[in-house]
Structure 1
Amino acid sequence: MVRVCLALLVAGTVLAGPAAAATVRTETIRVAPQGPNGDAAQPGAPAPGETPAGAAQPGASQSIDVQPGAGDPATAPSVLPPVTGPSTGPQIPTDQLPATPGEEAPAEEDGLVEDRVSPQNQLPVPDVKYGTAELPAPVARMRDQLIEAARSGDIEKMRMVLEGNEMMPTLSLTEIGDPIEFLRASSGDGNGQEILAILLDVLEAGWVKTDAGTPQEMYVWPYFARYPFDKLSPQQKVEMYRIITAGDFAEMDAYGAWLFYRVGIGPDGTLHYFVAGE
């Protein structure tokens, strides 16, 4: 059977742009083939040289109605894919889509996604000491001076200790002006008593020696600052809760580092820092 494709073009549609071009309609008209003598061919009989009905024409294309909204949906060609969304591309299962930037990918149900390793928990378990018996004399002397100033309740007593230090210790991770005024302003009560209480609690806790035998060797209070959180015993946590709250510890454990105040004194007795933060 011979198929003739007629393109009905409305005048001016080519020049009218995409909107007009959408009105182009391609129709398929079936023309009854004629026999050798001009007679109509018998129904179902293929014309000479014609492929039998149902067989695909080599190189022939199938014409469909492309006019938007035209025709009866029930008679739409079955070769058209079902419309599944605004995109005409292949539909990807949502569970295979990559995570949107800024979104966290869903956790694997089989537990293959590992938790982030806490830097604090990667620290080696140090040897914890208490008191001054095993401290070098210069270190013990600086500790005693700080404790004396803290117990006085007068923040100005800290000025003499700081000025007698070999260098100005780190009191903040940002620029500060007068160190005593900074300590006063950092104290919750506004007079410096709270910060002195914190200093006293820190220095009366256990301590550890870090980076032994190197230029960075330091005696650090409290030892929790350099102790893996996941190795703390119940007794050690009781010691720790004398300095911080359980809520403070939960936040620092999630962050992976000790963020509360700590004191660092060098082997020569130099106070290097009394600071909070990372």
Structure 2
Amino acid sequence: MQTSADGKKLFRSSLIVLSVLAGTTALVAPVRPAFALSELKHQPGETPQKPAEEADKAAPVEKEQQPEDASPLELPMPDPLIRKGETVTEPAGEEPVVTDDKPDEPLTPVEVLYDISKAPEAVRRMRQLIVEAAASGDIERLRPLLGKGVTETQVSIVETEEGPVETLKGQSGDSDGIEVLAILLDVLATGFVHVGQGTPDEMYVWPYFAEKPLAGLTPPEKVELLRIVTAGDFTDMQEFGSYNFYRIGITPDGQWKFFVTGD
């Protein structure tokens, strides 16, 4: 017959066994895997998130970048629409357009003469008579040399009813025409050129600057020019494009053809 003390011992032993069994069960229970936030059940109204791999696949494909060593595409420059001296073909019914530009023509060399003996005798005589009349200081001494009618010397590029002597006086800076006489001497003291050989316009012309491009003048020739005109006049001539001061022309037969200023 068991006593109460034995029953208490039996009860305690049973509790110990149950506790041991419960701990063993807890140790051997399977561990549930942890879920990612994206795998958890979403609440109503939330947008489900896709796994990272699926998001990468769904992302738009960006434009393929060029390799770093690839050079940029270079396009050739277009040809000029209109070339110098070229006729442009227009569509039917329109007039062709021709450019005004022309190739630069080479400058014709000019032979400058200083030896008056190379001119015909009639030219040398007329030149000497003009020099003597101008050196006298009396402009009236030019009158018989200037001719009359069809042989009258041209002294102005503008038509006038006055006689040549009166016209020259009007061009002079003084009332007696002394300045014009001085210009005559200065011009005839320079070199000259022979132009128009074999034509009706054959002439011996002073100064040679009238027939030579100013851009081709040498330093000594510029000095010779500045004995006739001022530096300001020379600058104006360069802008104008040619010599435009007084010039003298004598035909091979000794006729004093012109003494004019201007182009």
TM-score surpassing 0.5? Answer: yes
Q: Given the alignment, which residue of 197, 220, 224 partners 1:235?
A: 220
Q: For 1:164 and 1:178, locate their aligned partners in 2 and report how far apart those are by CA, in whole Å.
A: 9
Measured after TM superposition, the shift of residue 211 of structure 1 is 1.4
C-alpha distance in 2 between matches for 1:165 and 1:136: 24
| RMSD, aligned CA | 2.2
Distance 1:200 1:123 in 2: 29
Query: SS where residue 125 of structure 1 aligns?
Result: coil
- The yes-or-no answer on 1:149 pairing with 2:105 is no
CA deviations 1:97-139 (Å, max 9, x no partner) are xxxxxxxxxxxxxxxxxxx99x9x9652211111411010000
Aligned residues: 161
8 Å CA contact 1:218–1:265 kept in 2: the answer is yes
Structure with greater Cα Rg: 2
Bigger helix fraction: 2
1:209 is aligned to 194
- C-alpha displacement at 1:258, in angstroms? 1.4
Unpaired stretches in structure 2, ≥5 consecutive residues: 1-100
Q: Cα distance, 1:229 vs. partner?
A: 0.9
1:164 offset after TM fit, Å? Answer: 7.3
Residue 267 of structure 1: how far off its partner (Å): 0.8
C-alpha displacement of 1:163: 3.0
| Among 250, 253, 265, the residue aligned to 2:235 | 250
CA distance 1:141–1:122, shift in 2 (3 Å):
farther
CA distance in 1 between counterparts of 2:130 and 2:106 reads 31
Q: Which structure 1 residue ranges, 4+ long, deviate > 4 Å from structure 2?
A: none
Residue 166 of structure 2: aligned partner: 181
Match of 1:171 among 142, 150, 155: 155
State the 1:241 CA deviation.
Answer: 0.5
Change (3 A) 1:130 1:229: same
| Residue of structure 1 aligned with 2:112, choices 84, 103, 128 | 128
Task: Classify 1:171/1:213 alpha carbon distance in 2 versus 1 (closer, same or farther; 3 Å).
Answer: same
What letter matches 1:134 in structure 2? Answer: K
TM-score normalized by the length of structure 2: 0.58
Change (3 A) 1:156 1:122: farther
Which amino acid in 1 is paired with 2:217? L
Shift of 1:166: 6.9
Alignment correspondent of 1:18: none
Write out per-residue CA displacement over residues 159-182 of structure 1, whole angstroms, 9 at most, x where no aligned residue: 121137970011001122121111
Give, in whole Å, the separation in 1 of the partners of 2:136 and 2:115.
20
Change (3 A) 1:268 1:165: farther
TM-score by length of 1: 0.55
Tell me what 2:123 maps to. 139
Q: In the alignment, is the contact (CA less than 8 A) between 1:186 and 1:195 conserved in 2?
A: yes
What does 1:10-21 correspond to in 2, within 5 Å? none
Query: Partner letter of residue 141 of structure 2?
Result: K
Query: Percent of aligned pairs with the same residue?
Result: 47
Three-state SS of the structure 1 residue aligned to 2:154 is coil
**Equivalence map 1:57-206=2 (5 Å):** 123-163=107-147, 167-176=151-160, 177-206=162-191
CA distance in 2, matches of 1:175, 1:166: 14
